[in-house]
Chains A and B, each alone.
Chain A
Amino acid sequence: MSQSSLAAHQTHTLDIAKIRADFPILQRTVHKKPLIYLDNAASSQKPNQVIEAVARYYRRHNANVHRGLHTLSEEATTAYESAREKVRAFINAAEIAEVIFTKGTTEAINLVASSYGRAHLRAGDEVLITYMEHHSNIVPWQMICEQTGAVLRVCPINERGELLMDEFERLLNDKTRIVAFNHISNSLGTVNPVKRMVQLAHAAGAVTLVDGAQAVPHQGVDVRDLDCDFYAFSGHKMFAPTGIGVLYGKRYLLEQMPPYQGGGDMIKSVSFEKTVYNELPSKFEAGTPIIAGAVGLGAAIDYLNEVGLEAISDYEYGLLTYGTEQLKTVPGLRMIGEAAEKTSVFSFVLDGAHPHDIGTILSHTGVAVRTGHHCTEPLMKFFKVPATVRASLAFYNTREEIDALVVGLGKVREMLL
């Protein structure tokens, strides 16, 4: 960590002007208004440091990895593998063999559901998920349950959008094989008590998969402290490019698991009689990977370390408190998701206005929010709304931008009501 960020870290303040200058897209306008980007839970923006790292890779080092002896291939391999080491340190995994690059969270979950699920689930076994999962942490489990005869169980939530931990404990039993849940909900911002949930699941003899897609951009994650068995996340939500993501898995589990896809890179030797699979992590990385994406992810991790995740958490907590207060002043606004432990996500509905109309009008004031069910249809049903408006913040957002959202909502009311 540099001297200046060390100072920032200690006082937990961020130099927002400097940070915003790192993100070129934040300088642009939409509909002749300055862009106010509040759709970070869907995908985050990229700092120059990431954009440049990707460009530099293509300008100077581009080649295939693990396959050539020539200089470029060696450089590309080094760049790719050093990104893996950065990820390892970022989540405090024990070794790089436990860090598998995937396309994103979705692919990471599918990998575990297919490979671990198919090998371990039998008819009558149970998989436990929660009511607040993203479709990508529902559908792969439904698919594998259908194939194996296992049963999918769902832990309910309360009106504030918090898991009912009593129910969670009650649903765990000696048939539970896999427990999969998100660290932070993309629709509600709820931060789940992951460590406790992992302990309870382990006590019941189940393995755990944590969907960390919404956690890694906001707070430090230590997979060994959480003691989870698998942890999945996407680069594009943490200021890195799209197309790259990570599956962390404990070595002993990954070793037991059959490969997910077959092809080049994942094998040691191939003959028509017998193929010997490669060691971890290559065993799960068939084909040419998204090398530049991994390089970009490494650069994003460097950037986050430089700014400091603790400072980011503190700053965003301030935005959450401020935003919650300000949005309360909008007549007819109902917040969906008011968990005691929450990140800077505001999901809401407005009396008499459909989210899609709100989204269109806000967009013309320069404010980008997401409207819809946010890939969490069961959750929308629970709250009895067809959709919500969601403003999701990152550390480059400001109080002034929250003010602009509130003003925009005033305009929505003027136009629609």
Chain B
Amino acid sequence: MNGIAPGVKALYREAIKDYAARLADWPPPEVVTHRAEGFNPHCGDALETALHCREGRIAALGFDSESCVVCHASAALMAQVLQGIAVETVPKALESFENALRGHIEWPEVFDEASCLEPVRDFPSRIQCALLPWHTLAMCFHPQPTTACTEEEIPE
């Protein structure tokens, strides 16, 4: 493709688009015990995460989302990694995801396919898109859930 910088091509290569498309496989579960909304006012990404937690584990999870490719891919990855894990390990998973996404640590093994998100590092404003599903997940366990917001309003 002519005239497009390699960085953008890397961002939108097939792997990430595949993942984004896979989000369709993760609709909200039938039984929902935890739910939270996330919103990125900067770009209009909007996502609702719904969980079914049973016996201390995430038995099922899914999303309602109108978001960009980066956010969708990140959400689909998150679902794949978190399905079935113990609720108490969620904060740790969230922390490692964020650290690896920002390039502070190597991707832990469970995130082996997350490397498709790496090009996001070159787009500071897009990191928030990748973090939105995770912040929304954290909000699900918040004692008083409000909308997870990736940042303060940016005025025109």
A residues at B contact (CB < 8 Å): 31-33, 41-43, 106, 134-136, 186, 354-357, 359-361, 364-365, 370-375, 380, 385-388, 411, 414-416
Please determine whether A364 and B8 come into contact, CB atoms closer than 8 angstroms: yes
Within 8 A of A (CB), among B7-44: 7-9, 11-12, 17, 41-44
How far apart sit A388 and B11, CA to CA, in the bound complex (Å)?
A: 21
Please determine whether A360 and B11 come into contact, CB atoms closer than 8 angstroms: yes
Chain A residues within an 8 Å CB radius of B68: 354-357
Please determine whether B44 and A415 come into contact, CB atoms closer than 8 angstroms: no
Return 19 A-B CB contacts under 8 Å, by A number.
Answer: A43-B156, A135-B153, A354-B43, A354-B45, A354-B66, A354-B67, A355-B44, A356-B44, A356-B68, A356-B70, A356-B129, A359-B43, A360-B8, A365-B4, A375-B153, A375-B156, A387-B44, A415-B9, A416-B17
Please determine whether B155 and A375 come into contact, CB atoms closer than 8 angstroms: yes
Q: Mark B62-87, 1 if CB is under 8 A from A, else 0.
A: 00001111110000000000000000
B residues at A contact (CB < 8 Å): 1, 3-5, 7-9, 11-12, 17, 41-46, 66-71, 123, 126, 129, 153, 155-156
Interface of A is mostly: mixed
Chain A residues within an 8 Å CB radius of B156: 41-43, 134, 186, 370, 374-375
How far apart sit A106 and B153, CA to CA, in the bound complex (Å)?
A: 14
Contact A416:B43 (CB < 8 A) given known A42-B156, A364-B5: no
Contact A415:B12 (CB < 8 A) given known A356-B44, A386-B46: yes
How far apart sit A245 and B129, CA to CA, in the bound complex (Å)?
A: 34
Chain B residues within an 8 Å CB radius of A380: 44
How far apart sit A31 and B123, CA to CA, in the bound complex (Å)?
A: 13
Q: Which 10 A-B pairs have the closest CB atoms?
A: A387-B44, A356-B43, A354-B68, A356-B68, A386-B44, A364-B8, A386-B66, A357-B68, A415-B12, A386-B46
Please determine whether A411 and B1 come into contact, CB atoms closer than 8 angstroms: yes
Chain A residues within an 8 Å CB radius of B8: 360-361, 364, 415
Please determine whether B66 and A33 come into contact, CB atoms closer than 8 angstroms: no
Please determine whether B1 and A357 come into contact, CB atoms closer than 8 angstroms: no
Residue of A whose beta carbon sits closest to that of B8: A364
Contact A364:B7 (CB < 8 A) given known A356-B68, A375-B156, A414-B1: yes
Residue of A whose beta carbon sits closest to that of B126: A360
Chain A residues within an 8 Å CB radius of B4: 361, 364-365, 411, 415
Of B1, B8, B69, B153, the most chain A CB neighbours within 10 A belong to: B8
Please determine whether B44 and A371 come into contact, CB atoms closer than 8 angstroms: yes
Chain A residues within an 8 Å CB radius of B155: 106, 136, 375
Given A32-B5, A135-B153; 18 other pairs, CB 8 A cutoff: A42-B156, A43-B156, A106-B155, A186-B156, A354-B67, A356-B43, A356-B67, A359-B43, A364-B4, A364-B7, A365-B3, A372-B41, A372-B42, A372-B43, A375-B153, A388-B44, A411-B4, A416-B12
Of B1, B3, B9, B67, the most chain A CB neighbours within 10 A belong to: B3
How far apart sit A226 and B155, CA to CA, in the bound complex (Å)?
A: 28
Q: Determine how close the nearest CB of chain A comes to the CB of B66; give it in whole angstroms.
A: 5
Please determine whether B43 and A371 come into contact, CB atoms closer than 8 angstroms: yes
Chain A residues within an 8 Å CB radius of B66: 354, 386
Q: Determine how close the nearest CB of chain B comes to the CB of A38; give it in whole angstroms.
A: 14
B43 is contacted by which of A134, A186, A387 (Cβ under 8 Å)?
A387
Chain A residues within an 8 Å CB radius of B123: 360
Residue of A whose beta carbon sits closest to that of B11: A360
Q: Determine how close the nearest CB of chain B comes to the CB of A354; give it in whole angstroms.
A: 4
Chain A residues within an 8 Å CB radius of B3: 33, 365, 411
Chain A residues within an 8 Å CB radius of B11: 360
Please determine whether B43 and A361 come into contact, CB atoms closer than 8 angstroms: no
How far apart sit A186 and B156, CA to CA, in the bound complex (Å)?
A: 10
Please determine whether B46 and A361 come into contact, CB atoms closer than 8 angstroms: no
Chain A residues within an 8 Å CB radius of B9: 415
Please determine whether A386 and B12 come into contact, CB atoms closer than 8 angstroms: no
Chain B residues within an 8 Å CB radius of A364: 4-5, 7-8
